Amino acid sequence: MEIRKIATIHNDYTERFGVPRQSGLAPEVRSRIVFEKEYRNPDALRGIEGFSHLWLIWEFDRIERDGSYRPMVRPPKLGGNTRVGVWATRSPYRPNPLGLTVVRLVGTEQTAEGPVLVVEGADLMNGTPIYDIKPYVPYADCVAGAVGGFADEHAGERLRVTVPEEVRAAAASAGHGEEWLAALAKVLSADPRPAYQDDPQRRYGMRYGDAEVAFVVNGGELTVTEIANVVPEDAQTL
């Protein structure tokens, strides 16, 4: 079977660290889905706004793969040390590195790049290729009483996120408003750290959009210590 990329997603997840491990954990973060030239016919989206959510089928294209098949993997939810079968996880290390994500459809935009879908809650990195889009159908896709295995053990756990006033002020001076901060806080509350790391003295850093974000975690509270815009690599020094 030949599989073709139909679109690319664009958002503020510019590196792997910090991307939510499941969709819907950071619903405040918006993404734009831009179609490839051959799929920019507006007719292909006719009727899509009648659905509140969509399924995305995409590729784990940023992982290092040696072509081998891993029947056992170590999911982050279990601390990164316990092995389980790959079919019992959503690990990217599978024979076909395909991901499945449900997102909320905000709407469509007509742009110079053709029709664009605006969605919320994606767990895809910026630039991820998308291979298919399907409507989420509640009567068939929502299963009452479903059980989530080991993933249910820590479901719903969140860190409390604190952004000190001086950090908020620095973010504002760099052009980041309260809406941007709210989205960042939701991303951080899902705890981007590996599950086996719990060092209150350790300072973590991640890229979010055009900013570098530094933070520490003590118990159930995450404190943002710095937000600074990234200087483009091709910027000239005067």
pLDDT at 200: 87
Q: Does pLDDT of 199 surpass 90?
A: no
Per mean pLDDT, which range of 10-14, 61-65, 157-161, 229-233 is the poorest?
229-233
Question: Looking up tokens 């509350």, which residue turns up?
Answer: 189
Structure confidence at residue 231 (pLDDT): 53
Question: Would the pLDDT of 77 be above 50?
Answer: yes
Q: Is a pLDDT exceeding 50 seen at residue 234? A: no
Which pLDDT value is given to residue 121?
Answer: 95
Phi then psi for 158, rounded to 5 degrees? -140, 150
Q: What percent of the chain has pLDDT over 90?
A: 61
How many alpha carbons fall within 13 Å on the CB side of residue 237?
1
The model's pLDDT over 115-130, given as tens digits with 9 standing for 90+, comes to 999 999 999 999 999 9
238 pLDDT band (50/70/90 cuts)? very low
- Rounded to whole angstroms, the Cα distance separating 81 from 77 reads 10
pLDDT in tens, 53-67: 999 999 999 887 776
Q: Is 78's pLDDT higher than 50?
A: yes
The rounded radius of gyration (Å) of the Cα atoms in the chain is: 19
Higher local confidence (pLDDT), 214 or 155: 214
Structural domains of the chain, ranges and CATH numbers in brackets = 7-61+97-141 (2.40.30.70), 160-229 (3.30.2310.20)
pLDDT at res. 8: 98
The closest of 95, 102, 93 to 55, measured between CA atoms, is 102
**Mean pLDDT of the 137-141 span:** 94
Q: What is the pTM of this model?
A: 0.87
| Neighbour tally for 238: CB within 10 Å | 3
